Amino acid sequence: MHAEPQISRWAAERFGDRAESVRGQLAASLLEAAGNAQDAQRSSRSEKRYAYGSTLMARRYEALVDGFKHEPGFQVVRPFGSPHHLVVLDGNLFLPFRYADDDTTPISEARVGDGRVSALVRELFTRFGPQTRYFQEVLDLALDEGDDEAERAEIRPVLAQLPDDTRLIPVAYAANAQASLLKLYWGEAELIDDMGRIHWLHCEQIPLLTALPWMALPAAEPGAAERFDHGAEPDLTIVGRPAAERGNGALFPVDSEAPDETPIAADERA
């Protein structure tokens, strides 16, 4: 029988007795988002990855909202100028971002975005992240500090509605259109430069297998229970595979008959 990875002291301090379920739901939501992005890419029938990228960008926020919206202590905030809602749970604000499209890039090299950070990201780390111990100045004559400060000023009124003790939790993942979600981390970090580089004060990997108990199954068709061919057979349960499982065969292989007491694959480590 597979043993769930132990909950860290950091996670328990943030979420108490439900730290395990929060960790599992994070993995389930981002697996769903990655699967949705793969489905969009396949449907586009294009060699370009625009459908994948734009779908993953939107769904990573929406899937978190859907996954946590019935939890006590749930809030959403949509900063000025952003089309996305950010989830706040028990005073912890989740910031999901893709740090790599492979499983070999070290999490220590994670960057929030591919270029210069937005005013929103800067403000989130400034307001809700740990106190920055050092900041590497990046000189760029094209940067208009006045415009950046004006954007941050527009963002602040909405963020100011959150309690001062709200804490930012970066949720970094690696994913691509072929393999879906590869790795997932959460923790506490400070922003150290304008190019999105961060310094982790605490970082831990979330094994993707922790998502299994929280992954949603496809809803049954209306009236299916009345049909004779939908009746359950004795000692046999058949369910459809979620989209996240279909799109990530390496993590969720299809086995027609598994030998007794075959352990589930060990969790990933960086």
Range 60-70 average pLDDT: 96
Range 136-164 average pLDDT: 62
Task: Give the pLDDT score at 151.
Answer: 65
Closest to 266 in 3D by CA, of 183, 185, 209, 215: 209
**Within-domain flag for 230:** no
Q: State the amino acid at position 170 in one-letter form.
A: P
Task: Give the pLDDT score at 3.
Answer: 55
Q: Domain count of the chain?
A: 1
Between 150 and 187, where is the model more confident?
187
Task: Give the pLDDT score at 252.
Answer: 62
Q: State the amino acid at position 4 in one-letter form.
A: E
* Statement: residue 198 has pLDDT above 60: yes
**Within-domain flag for 164:** yes
How many other β-carbons are positioned within 10 Å of the β-carbon of residue 18?
18
**Within-domain flag for 19:** yes
pLDDT-derived band at 114 (thresholds 50, 70, 90) equals: confident
Range 124-152 average pLDDT: 64
pLDDT tens, 222-265?
Answer: 554 443 344 444 444 444 566 666 666 666 665 544 444 333 33
Task: Give the pLDDT score at 136.
Answer: 56
Task: Give the pLDDT score at 149.
Answer: 64
* Statement: residue 51 has pLDDT above 70: yes
**Within-domain flag for 32:** yes
Range 61-80 average pLDDT: 94
How many other β-carbons are positioned within 10 Å of the β-carbon of residue 104?
8
**Within-domain flag for 219:** no
Between 106 and 149, where is the model more confident?
106
**Within-domain flag for 191:** yes
The string of DSSP letters for 166-197 reads -EEEEEEEEEETTTEEEEEEEEEEEE-STT-B
Task: Give the pLDDT score at 92.
Answer: 97
**Within-domain flag for 98:** yes
Beta strands in the chain (DSSP E): 74-77, 86-89, 92-100, 167-176, 180-191, 198-205
* Statement: residue 11 has pLDDT above 70: yes
Write the CB contacts of 140 (distance below 8 Å, at least 6 apart in sequence). Answer: 116, 194
**Within-domain flag for 3:** no
Q: Tell me which range, 3-12, 110-119, 211-220, is most confidently predicted by mean pLDDT.
A: 110-119
Between 182 and 163, where is the model more confident?
182
Q: What is the dihedral of CA 157, 159, 163, 164, to 10 degrees?
A: -90
* Statement: residue 55 has pLDDT above 90: yes
Per the structure, the complete domain to which residue 54 belongs is given by: 9-214
Beta strand pairing call for 167-176 and 92-100:
parallel
Task: Give the pLDDT score at 172.
Answer: 98
d(CA 202, CA 52): 30
Task: Give the pLDDT score at 141.
Answer: 36
How far out from the chain centre does Cα 75 lie? 17
Range 89-118 average pLDDT: 94
